A = this chain, B = another copy of it.
Amino acid sequence: MKNRVITISREFGSGGRTIGKTVASALGIPCYDNELLQEIAEKSGFSESYVQEAGEYAPGGFLSSAFSHRGALPNNADYLWEIQYKLIAEIAEKESCVIVGRCADYILRDKADCLRVFIHADLAFRAQRITTVYGEREESPEQRLREKDKRRAAYHRFYTDMKWGHAQNYDITLNSGTLGIERCVEIIKSLY
């Protein structure tokens, strides 16, 4: 039987990772999130924190992207992307699972039986969450969220040509702020 994969893209602070882990645990399948970072770090020789940072930035400016996509030497971000691409394809080949972030929706678009989920919430809900749940102590959590959103969207667009957060790219998108995290978990479970 073909493996079934739930991919969860999410806005920073929306609870997407918590939702992914809870769904996976309820369904008895693994959830890949930080595990992916570790494996990419191991295979690439870079540190985990470097891999995490690189996954939030679209590579360089005009020149960097022009060269790396025209046959010149690949830059680090492109090299990491290749490792990430192969790793996610291998995981989906191996087992049913939940994968959080890392453009898994795009990478698996023709390779696996996927339920493509996007989780979002308004700034106030997320700001409250990153300060109380993650314990972040930013003077302006809203500003930090806006920057994170921008970076994730740019990274996604650079490697996938898909618009991040555009409903048409997903099977379902859920507002965890208005629906609540538990309700999101219930709905995703019911669709598996």
Binding site for B on A (CB under 8 A): 118, 120, 122, 165-168, 170-175, 178-179, 183, 187, 190-191
Chain B residue contacts of A173, Cβ below 8 A = 167, 170, 172-173
Chain B residues, Cβ within 8 Å of A187 = 187, 190
Closest Cβ neighbor of A176 among chain B residues:
B171
Q: At the interface, is chain A mostly helix, strand, loop or mixed?
A: mixed
Q: Which residue of B lies closest to A169 (CB)?
A: B167
Chain B residues near A166 (CB, 8 Å)? Answer: 165-167
Q: How far is the CB of A12 from chain B (nearest CB, A)?
A: 13
Chain B nearest CB: distance from A187 CB in Å? 6
- Knowing A187-B187, A191-B183 are in contact, say whether A178-B167 is a contact too (CB < 8 A): no
B167 contacts A170, CB within 8 Å? yes
Contacts of A174 in B (CB 8 A): 171-172
The contact of A120 among B168, B179, B183, by CB within 8 Å, is: B168
Q: Which of the residues B168, B172, B190 comes within 8 Å of A172, measured between beta carbons? A: B172
